[in-house]
Structures are given as structure tokens and as C-alpha cells.
Amino acid sequence: MSIQDHIEKKLRHYKKGTIVIPEDFRGIGTAAAIKMSLSRLVQKEKIKRLAHGIYYIPKKDPLFGEVYPSIEKIAITIAQKHKVRIKPTGAKALHQLGLTTQVPTKLVYLTDGERRQIRIGKTLIQFKPTTPKKMSLMGPLSTLVILGLDDIGTLHLDAEMRKKIKTVLLTEDPVLLKKDLSIAPAHIYDFLITLLNSDNDRMASTNSGAKTHRN
């Protein structure tokens, strides 16, 4: 059985829409042979190429036709396959929270892995190495707020955006919020503490564990 046949046989066990990369087939043949076989399978339309070294098994909806994996799913899957962690930052983080309706064409993720860029059509996915401190943020909401604001800044936020950010943070688990505030960059910490200060009950518990914080 050829390397291509081995890969094609393995692909039959994957669900339609699954994202695959050459590393999924290590042990079947050399890296060069695997890449060549995947290229041939693209020509046979057994798989589709999303970007260099990234493929997916075609999936069709009876009403809408071919279904492509989302950009976010591609980023998460690539991170999982390479065994690294990623966290969205900048405009991507704020969009994910629903704080902005503008869909970014450049998705930046902080990572504890290597720097990487992936272009999917007009969208660029960037993995940007960062510090262990930023990767240790835990709150699903406060993490996105802190990393989003750390990238885009706080000086030009209007009153409506500030109100939205405060509303999001007040729905975060107070324990996780306090922990994340304690390790946030100083300028973000100061901004968020001021923003939340009118909520006395929340700030009483938050400040008690974060008042010694400074970067």
C-alpha cells in the first residue's frame, strides 16, 4: 500500500470538516512524501487546502453547499495539534466579547509556542509569543478584556465602550477577576479599577486582594 493510500485510509476515519496537517500522518512516510501525497489528494478533491500545510476534509450542507471551518476553529485546532496554548488579543479579543461588531482581518493570538503566521484568504492569523504571566490569566471574560485593552490601549475608548467593558467584567467570576487584576499590566489595572469603582460590593472583594499590585 502506498503512502497516499495509507493517508487516504486514515482520512476515512475522520469526520467531515476535520482540519488536518502533515504532522497528523507522521510514521507513514517521510515528511516530503506525506506533503506530496496530500497535494495529490487535493487534486483528487479528497481534501481541500486552507493554507500552506493546512487542509480540511470537505463538508457540504444540503442547503448552503460547502461548509468551511471558521477562522477561530482553524487557529484553535492548529494550536492544539502543535500542543501550544493561545489567547486572543487586541481587536479579536474585544470582538469575541461582543464589544465591537467590526470583524478584524488580522487575528492576533498570544501563545506560549513559536511565532507563526497563517493566511486564510484575506485573513491573517498570527501567533505571537508572550510572557508566562499573560498566559496565566484565567477568567474567560477578564482575560479577553485585559489582553484586548493591553493591545489597543484605553485612551480613546468612548463612554459607551467603557460601559460595555464594565458590564462584561461584572459578570466575571469575582475570584477569577481578582486574580487576573492582580497580574494585569499596571495601566490596565488602574483603568479597570477606576472603571469598576462605582460597584462598591465588587470592588471591596477585588481591592482586598489586588491593592498591592504594581508592574
Architecture of domain 3-66: Orthogonal Bundle (1.10)
CA 149/CA 141 separation, integer angstroms: 12
145 close to 165: Cβ distance less than 8 angstroms: yes
Annotated domain spans of the chain: 3-66, 71-210
**Predicted model pTM:** 0.82
Span 107-142, pLDDT tens digits? 999 999 999 999 998 899 999 999 999 999 999 999
- pLDDT for 1 equals 83
**Per-residue confidence band for 203, with pLDDT thresholds at 50, 70 and 90:** very low
145 close to 168: Cβ distance less than 8 angstroms: yes
User: Which amino acid, residue 55?
Assistant: Y
